[in-house]
Amino acid sequence: MNNTFAKDIINGLTTSNKELSSKYFYDDSGSRIFQEIMQMPEYYLTDSEFEILSLQVQQIVAALEFEQPFNIIELGAGDGFKTFKLLEYLVTNEVAFNYVPIDISQEAITILTQKLKSRLPELSIAPKVGDYFEILRETSENKTPSLLLFLGGNIGNYSHSEAIDLLKLFYQNMNANDKLLIGMDLKKNPITIHNAYYDKAGVTKRFNLNLLIRINREFDADFKIDDFDFYCHYNPINGEVKSYIVSLKTQTVHIGKLGLDIDFQQNELIWTELSQKYALSDIEVLAKTTNFNIKHHFLDCKHYFTDSLWEKLH
User: Using one digit for the tens of pLDDT, what is the confidence trace for 43-99?
Assistant: 999 999 999 999 999 999 999 999 999 999 999 887 777 899 999 999 999 999 999
pLDDT for the residue 80: 78
Q: Give the percent of the chain with pLDDT over 90.
A: 86
C-alpha 87/C-alpha 93 separation (Å) is 10
pLDDT in tens, 7-43: 999 999 999 999 999 999 989 899 899 999 999 999 9
What does the pLDDT read at residue 71?
Answer: 95
CATH pick for 44-188+279-311 out of 1.10.260.40, 3.40.50.150, 3.30.930.10, 3.30.590.10: 3.40.50.150
Report, as an integer, the average pLDDT of 238-245. 98
pLDDT of 133 over the 80 cut: no
The CA distance from 307 to 86, in Å, is 13
Task: Provide mean pLDDT across the span 114-124.
Answer: 95
Which of 226, 230, 279, 216 lies closest to 249, judged by CA?
226
CA angle 257, 27, 263 (to 5 degrees): 40
Radius of gyration (Cα) for the chain, nearest Å? 20
- Over residues 93-106, the mean pLDDT reads 92
pLDDT given at position 107: 85
Q: Report pLDDT for 278.
A: 98
Three-state SS string over 205-242 comes to: HHHHHHHHHHHHHHHCECCCHHHEEEEEEEECCCCEEE
- pLDDT for 52 equals 97
Question: Which of 130-139, 247-256, 285-294 has the least mean pLDDT?
Answer: 130-139
At residue 135, the pLDDT reads 81
Q: Where are the domains of the chain?
A: 44-188+279-311
What pLDDT does residue 191 have?
Answer: 97
Choose the weakest-confidence range: 130-134, 204-208, 268-272. 130-134
Alpha carbon of 89 to those of 14, 30, 82, 152, 218: distances in Å? 50, 30, 12, 20, 42
pLDDT classification of 314: cutoffs 50, 70, 90:
confident
- Which residues lie closer than 8 Å to 265 by C-beta, 6 or more apart? 247, 250
142 has pLDDT over 90: no
What mean pLDDT, rounded, does the chain reach? 94
